[in-house]
A and B are shown apart, each in its own frame.
Chain A
Amino acid sequence: MSETITLEVLRYHPETDSEPHFQNYVVPYRDDWVVLDALNHVKDNLDATLSYRWSCHMAVCGSCGMMINSEPKLSCHTFLRDYRGGVIRVEPLDHFPIERDLVIVMDSFMDKLSSVKPYLIPKQDKPLSTGEYLQLPGELDVFHQYTQCINCLLCYAACPQCGLNGDFVGPAALALAHRYNLDSRDGGKDARAEVVASNEGIWECTFVGACSEVCPKHVDPAAAIQQTKISASVDWLKGLLTPGAHK
C-alpha cells in the first residue's frame, strides 16, 4: 500500500453545527505536495463539502492562510514532507470568527485596512499634465519591504494582542500605514495618525514579534510598528514644544 498521511481538519457548518469539531481524512503522501494539495485531494475525491479559500497556489494571493499544527501558515507553502509520519492538524486562522470550516470572517480586517488610508495622499495635488510623481530608487528602498504584504492575515493569527483585543488595528494594516508614511511622494501621515497613533493602533502592540516571525513575505510588521511608535512619539513631543505649529 502506498504511503498516506492523516489530515485532522476543523469542520464547522453553521446550518447544522453548534460548535466546530475535527474530522480526519487519510490522503496520499507525496513529497512534492503541500497541505493545499492534500485539501484539494479531499475536496475532489473524499468530501466535496469541505470549504476553504485558495487561489494562486504560489504564495502570492494570500488566500490560503490556515493554522497548521497550531502555527499560522500559507497552506500552499507548507509541504507534507515536513510532517511526514505525523498527523497534520488544519484549523482556520486564529483570532477570526469561523464562517464555515476553514473559511474565516475577515470583515474586521477589511475595515481596519481601509481605516489607515492605505493609499498615496499627495503632499500637493498637481494636474495630470505635469506628469508622474517621481521617486528615486533610494527613496523606494526605504519602504520597499512593506509593499510586499499580501494580506494573508497570518500576522493577525500569530499576534496575541489581536486575540485579546479585537479592536487592535493589527500588524498588516499598521505596516501598510508605515509604508505610505515613509513614501517620499506621500503627505498623509497626519491624516493616518488618528487611527495609527491611537490606543487601538500602535500602542496596543507590546512587541511580541510573532507577526514578523510568521510573515511569509518577510514584511516585518513588528519593525514597522516600533518605528511608527518612535515617529509618533517625536511628533507628539514636537507638538508639545511648539504648540499651534504644523507638525
Chain B
Amino acid sequence: MNPRPYVRKVERSWWLQHPRYVAYMIRELTSLFVGLYCALLVVGLVRLAQGQSAWEGFIAAFSSPVGVAFQLVCLVFAIYHSVTWFALTPKAMPLMIKGERVSGTVIVGAHYVAWAVVSIVVLIGAGV
C-alpha cells in the first residue's frame, strides 16, 4: 500500500485550547466595539449636518442610560485594545538610534505619552 499521510482537522474550538489564543480572540472581538463606536461617531456627524433638532436628538440618545452604558462598554474594550496593541508595538516598529536598539519600554512609553497628548488636545478642543 502507498503511504497515506494522515491529515488532522483543525477543531472549531481551536481558540479555546490555549490561553494565548483566547487572549487573541478577545483582542479581535474588541476591535468590533471600537469599529461600532467609530460608526456611531459618523452617524453623529450625519445628524449634525441634518440640523439642530437632529443633532439634539442624537445627543439625547447618547446621553440616555443605554447610550452611556454602551459608551462605557466601548471604552473598556477600547482600552483593552489599545493597551494590548501598545504592548505589541516594539515588535512592529523596532527602532535603532545610532546603532543601538531602543528598548521596548521606551517605545511603549512613547505611545502612552502620545495617547495622553492627543487626549489632552481633544479635551481642550472640546472645551473641557
Contact = CB atoms under 8 A, between A and B. Distances in A.
Contacts of B4: 14
Interface residues of A, number: 35
A209 B90 CA distance: 13
B18 to A, nearest CB: 7
B124 interface: no
Contacts of B24: 206, 208-210
A12 B92 contact: no
B22 to A, nearest CB: 11
A163 to B, nearest CB: 4
> Which among B20, B28, B90 has the greatest number of chain A C-beta atoms within 10 A?
B20
A184 to B, nearest CB: 13
A14 B92 contact: no
A29 B6 CA distance: 31
Nearest to A227: B92
B5 interface: yes
Interface stretch (A35-43, A54-62, A97-105, A126-134): A97-105
Contacts of A15: 1
A48 interface: no
Given A105-B5, A164-B10, A213-B20, A227 B99 contact: no
12 contacts: A12-B6, A14-B5, A14-B6, A20-B6, A94-B8, A98-B8, A160-B10, A210-B20, A222-B91, A223-B94, A226-B88, A230-B93
Interface of A: 12, 14-15, 17, 19-20, 70-71, 94-95, 97-100, 105, 138, 141-142, 160, 163-164, 206-210, 212-213, 220, 222-223, 226-227, 229-230
